[in-house]
Amino acid sequence: MAKITAGVGSSHVPLLGVAVDQGKDRDDYFGPIFAGYDWTREWEKNEKPDVVVLVYNDHASYFDMNIVPTFAIGCAERFGICDEGWGPRPVPDVEGHPDLAWHIAQSLILDDFDMTIINKMDVDHGLTVPLSMMFDKPAKWPCKVIPLAVNVVTYPVPSGNRCWALGEAIKKAVESFPEDLNVQIWGTGGMSHQLQGPRAGLLNREWDNRFLDMLESDNDDVRHIQHIEYLRETGSEGIEMVMWLIMRGALGKTVKTLHRHYHIPCSNTAIGHIVLEPAD
Partner 1 sequence: MAEKPTQNIHEYLAEFEDIPGTRVYTAVRARKGYWINQFAMSMMQPENRERFKADQRAYLDEWDISEEAKQALLRRDYNALLDMGGNVYFLSKLFSADGIPFAEACSTMTDMTWPEYRQMMLDGGRSPEGNRSIRENLAAAAAAAQNKA
Binding residues vs partner 1 (CB under 8 A): 14-15, 59-61, 64-65, 83-86, 153-156, 161, 165, 192, 194-205, 207, 227-228, 231-233, 236, 264-265, 267-268, 270
Q: How far is the CB of 258 from partner 1 (least distance, A)?
A: 27
- Return the one option of partner 1, Fe ion, none that residue 24 interacts with (CB less than 5 to 8 A, by type): none
- Residue window 26-65: x/- pattern of binding to Fe ion, with contact defined by CB under 5 A: ----------------------------------------
Nearer to partner 1, 23 or 156 (CB): 156
Which of 174, 152, 179 is CA-nearest to residue 55? 152
Q: Which does 189 bind (CB under 5 to 8 A by kind): partner 1, Fe ion, none?
A: Fe ion
- Which amino acid would we find at residue 22? Q
**Residues 62 and 82: beta-carbon distance below 8 Å:** yes
Residue 224 annotated to the active site: no
d(CA 105, CA 229): 31
Spell out the residues 6+ positions from residue 51 whose beta carbon is closer than 8 angstroms to its own: 2, 97, 100, 143, 144, 145, 146, 181, 182, 183, 184
Residue 174 has a CB neighbour count (10 Å cut-off) of 23
What's the closest the beta carbon of residue 232 comes to partner 1, in angstroms? 4
Residue 128: closest CA among 30, 58, 42, 225: 58
Q: Is position 261 annotated as part of the catalytic site? A: no
Binding mask 160-199 for Fe ion (x = CB under 5 A): -----------------------------x----------
What does the alpha-carbon distance between residue 166 and residue 163 come to, in Å, rounded to a whole number?
5
Q: Which does 139 bind (CB under 5 to 8 A by kind): partner 1, Fe ion, none?
A: none
Sign of CA dihedral 62, 80, 108, 160: negative
**Considering beta carbons, is residue 125 or 162 the nearer one to Fe ion?**
125
Residue 107, number of CB atoms within 10 A of its CB: 19
Choosing from 193, 261, 263, 273, the catalytic residue is: 193
Measured from the CB atom, the residue of 97 and 248 that comes closer to Fe ion is 248
Whole-number minimum distance, CB 196 to partner 1, in Å?
4
The CB-nearest residue to Fe ion is 189
Residue nearer to Fe ion on the CB measure, 107 or 147: 147
- Dihedral over Cα of 14, 19, 22, 23: its sign: negative
State in angstroms the smallest separation of the CB of 118 from Fe ion.
18
Given the residues 97, 125, 261, 263, the one annotated as active site: 125
Are 21 and 89 contacting, i.e. CB atoms less than 8 angstroms apart?
yes
Residue 55 in contact with residue 243, Cβ under 8 Å?
yes
Catalytic residue positions? 125, 193
Which stretches of the chain bind Fe ion, using CB under 5 A?
Answer: 189
